[in-house]
Structure 1
Amino acid sequence: MPNPDFTQKLQDLAQKVGITSFKALSKAAGVSERQILRLRRGEVASLRVEVLLKLASVLQMSLSELVTTFASLELSKGNEASTQQMLQEIADLKTEYQRSQLQIAQQRELLLQEFQQSSLQLLESLLLQFPAAAQKARENPQFEAVKILPLVENPLKKLLQAWGIEAIAPVGSEVPYNPQIHQLIAGIVQPGELVKVRYSGYLQGDKLLYRAKVSSIEAG
């Protein structure tokens, strides 16, 4: 018996929610076009439950409606018991999928908490000492503000090192202009000519996070 073709049915359902092509449906649901093709062929049982959930959500259908609508003819007409069994299996898979999603969310929250805790440990001296030093500076205009700098610089250096982030060049240094890692904010220069670093840029390994802002030497 030839495979059933649910292409027209899927087109009609997609058009009801404003989707005019299978490619657009694939993009909207976040599933591959190959999985869309399986649905058009009535191969519901071969699709993962997360795929079915995504498609059902986009098509504004319940999971059971999606399954019964695109089940093969043998299941939908000739074998009601098999259909019910498949629906039960998918319902079980849905429950397991939701449980796994909850576990992932819990793990993500735990990782976030661990990340925040490790970051706070690196910034401990800044958090504990800087507010007191800043208040002392406000109360005593003669207090040398330069004494506060280590309270900020040292924790920041530790944090950047822990994350594998390094400055492109120190502020005030003169370096050859490289438009790939430098942003020219004043003057006119050619690649390779010396420029002065105004704001540090940062790299994380091979990834550019922020370009260093530079100006021509003549721009001061």
Structure 2
Amino acid sequence: MVFLQQRLKQRQIPSFRQLALRSQVTPWQVGQLRQGQVHQMRLEPLLRIAQTLDLSLGELLAAAGLADRAPNTTLNPSLNPSPEPSPEPSLDSLRRECDRLQQQLQRQEQDLRQQFQRQSLGQLESWLKNWPKVVYAVENTKPELLAAKVLPLLHPLEELLASWGVATIGSVGEVVAYEPRQHQMLRSGDAVGVAGDAGNGSIAGNGNIAGNLVQIQRPGYRHGSDLLHRAEVKPWQP
């Protein structure tokens, strides 16, 4: 390794540790080079060391005692600076790969759809079991069945919508400040009557001014950050 030591002096590098720092390699890799274990090294650190010493790769290998070896055959294959290029894929092979990927995507889409349906059906299980009985009772035996007894059966639907991130904008009869981005003012004659309201659909002239009090006739819905539709409102008349 006399040649390497002389080269360090010529390049004004005080030590092998400094060689490692300037080459951005580890001292252990420099140690491998000094011990002649180049066949265990990767190409990148060898090239960095050679560049720092202003040597070609062949000169560096010769300095490491490997001048009589054939680097492309005796060294680690990762040291080969010019590997044989892999053949370019043919058009037919590209088409086959494209078809394979499309089929894979279709299978994944189908699996996700089935998984989504199974999860949804699991949440609707109680409704699926009980709703047909309610319909039969109303149509055949108990037409006077109170709605108060039916409404709890719709809770699974509400829970399913909530699990999807669907949120309501207001509730029927609620009085709120008009917000154009969330509320849609009903036209005259379109308003739906709610409890405590005449439901005649009369619209005040300034009802669509932001901040004025309005009464929600139908709630709106959001899906995450997306607006599905705005809540339908009419001016509130105390």
Q: Counterpart in 1 of 2:79?
A: none
Whether the 8 Å contact between 1:168 and 1:201 is mirrored in structure 2 is yes
Q: Per-residue deviation at 1:194?
A: 1.0
Query: How many angstroms apart in 1 are the aligned matches of 2:97 and 2:228?
Result: 39
1:149 aligns with 2:151: yes
Query: How many angstroms apart in 2 are the aligned matches of 1:157 and 1:98?
Result: 41
**SS in structure 2 at match of 1:159:** helix
Structure 2 gap segments, 5+ residues each: 1-86, 188-202
Q: Counterpart in 1 of 2:221?
A: 202
Query: How many angstroms apart in 2 are the aligned matches of 1:158 and 1:145?
Result: 19
Query: How many angstroms apart in 2 are the aligned matches of 1:167 and 1:121?
Result: 23
Q: Counterpart in 1 of 2:181?
A: 180
Structure 1 gap segments, 5+ residues each: 1-84
What amino acid does structure 2 have at the position aligned with 1:136?
Answer: A
Larger Rg over CA atoms = 2
Query: How many angstroms apart in 2 are the aligned matches of 1:205 and 1:99?
Result: 35
Q: Counterpart in 2 of 1:93?
A: 94
Deviations 1:56-100 (A, max 9, x none): xxxxxxxxxxxxxxxxxxxxxxxxxxxxx86x6122011101100
Query: How many angstroms apart in 1 are the aligned matches of 2:227 and 2:131?
Result: 30
Mapping of 1:8-157 within 5 angstroms? 89-138=90-139, 139-152=141-154, 154-157=155-158
Query: How many angstroms apart in 2 are the aligned matches of 1:169 and 1:96?
Result: 51
Query: How many angstroms apart in 1 are the aligned matches of 2:92 and 2:143?
Result: 70
Give the % identical residues. Answer: 36
Matched residues, number: 133
Q: Per-residue deviation at 1:146?
A: 2.1
Query: How many angstroms apart in 2 are the aligned matches of 1:135 and 1:185?
Result: 37
What amino acid does structure 1 have at the position aligned with 2:160?
Answer: L
Q: Per-residue deviation at 1:142?
A: 2.7
Query: How many angstroms apart in 1 are the aligned matches of 2:114 and 2:146?
Result: 37
Query: How many angstroms apart in 2 are the aligned matches of 1:172 and 1:135?
Result: 31
Q: Per-residue deviation at 1:145?
A: 2.4
Query: How many angstroms apart in 2 are the aligned matches of 1:123 and 1:141?
Result: 25
TM-score, with structure 1 as normaliser: 0.56
Whether the 8 Å contact between 1:203 and 1:209 is mirrored in structure 2 is yes
Q: Counterpart in 1 of 2:233?
A: 214
**SS in structure 1 at match of 2:122:** helix
What amino acid does structure 1 have at the position aligned with 2:178?
Answer: Y
TM-score, with structure 2 as normaliser: 0.52
Query: How many angstroms apart in 2 are the aligned matches of 1:151 and 1:202?
Result: 21
Whether the 8 Å contact between 1:137 and 1:145 is mirrored in structure 2 is no
**SS in structure 1 at match of 2:90:** helix
Root mean square deviation of aligned Cα: 1.8
Q: Counterpart in 1 of 2:61?
A: none
95-104 or 142-151, larger mean C-alpha shift: 142-151
Query: How many angstroms apart in 1 are the aligned matches of 2:234 and 2:117?
Result: 36
Q: Counterpart in 1 of 2:211?
A: 192
